[in-house]
Amino acid sequence: MSAPDHAMILAAGLGTRMRPLTENCPKPLLPVAGRAMIDHALDHATGAGVSRVVVNLHYLGEKIRIHLAGRQLPRIAFSDEQPEILETGGGIVHALPLLGENPFYCINSDSIWVGPNPLGVLRESWKPAAMDALLLLVARERAHAYTRPGDFFLDREGGIPRRRADARTAPYIFSGAQILKPQVFADAPSGAFSINLIWDRLIGAGRLAAVIYPGDWVDVGTPEGLTVADACLARSGKTGQ
């Protein structure tokens, strides 16, 4: 099975932690290094050889649609979530008819990576015979503007991640990029649900794997995160591409 040719960008969120910046602007259109965050995500997709991207929409979605209307690469399709937002898992299920039958990348529109293309890192570690999903994790010491206790333990790259559970902290954080087989949603619930439900099922079956991102990552969840992302990209001399 070849590298994924399709990707989904999660762009439907309400951006509540970004208020007041998101009162009239959807979070994916907030600028980092002079460009909308969603454009950084699309650049990663193009750089990884993705030809088609599905963007889900809900909050102020028409503004995202208008912003992307003039973009030539990659080809973009939209998955509208109305009247209710469907969360991460439900949003992916709603978009599956547009994503095809092969594995696809899934990218959060509010993550900024400083280093190699995150989708390229995933592609190099993707082994579809051994895994049904692959998460891109980042070590806590390379995560910026991140204030939560961490997500996973990992014994080895390519191995099965373990949840933080009752531990006070965990050394690795989900950075917002992954590869998923559409088949993992075959018996998913209808309506809104978190992708965590799918991950937990795959952990139990030994079919979820993870790889560690070798660069830096910024959690752009608050206005302060935007400032940190600008500074990180400026220091690196990169524009997020």
Note the pLDDT tens digit of each residue in 151-198. 999 988 778 999 999 999 999 999 999 999 999 999 999 999 999 999
The pair of structure tokens assigned to 204 is: 């139990």
53: β partners: 7, 76
**Which candidate, 134, 140, 135, 143, places its Cα nearest to that of 115?**
143
Cβ proximity of 47 and 115 under 8 Å: no
The pair of structure tokens assigned to 79 is: 């998955």
The pLDDT value given to residue 239: 53
Share the mean pLDDT of the chain. Answer: 94
Cβ proximity of 22 and 30 under 8 Å: yes
| Whether pLDDT at 47 is above 70 | yes
Identify whether 83 is preceded by a cis peptide bond (ω within 30 of 0).
yes
| Whether pLDDT at 241 is above 50 | no
The pLDDT value given to residue 211: 96
The pLDDT value given to residue 73: 86
Q: Cα 143 from chain centroid?
A: 15
**Which candidate, 13, 30, 9, places its Cα nearest to that of 21?**
30
The pLDDT value given to residue 214: 97
**Which candidate, 15, 9, 11, 68, places its Cα nearest to that of 44?**
9
Q: Are strands 172-180 and 104-108 parallel, antiparallel or unpaired?
A: antiparallel
The pLDDT value given to residue 240: 45
Domain 6-236 in CATH 3.20.20.190: no
Local confidence band at 68 (pLDDT 50, 70, 90 cut-offs): very high
Classify the phi-psi angles of 2: left when phi > 0, otherwise alpha if psi is within -120 to 50, otherwise beta.
beta
Residue 183 exposed, middle or buried by CB count within 10 Å (0-12, 13-18, 19+):
exposed
Q: What is the pTM of this model?
A: 0.94
Strand (E) or helix (H) holding 66: helix 61-68
Residues 80-112 have pLDDT tens digits of 998 999 999 999 999 999 999 999 999 999 999
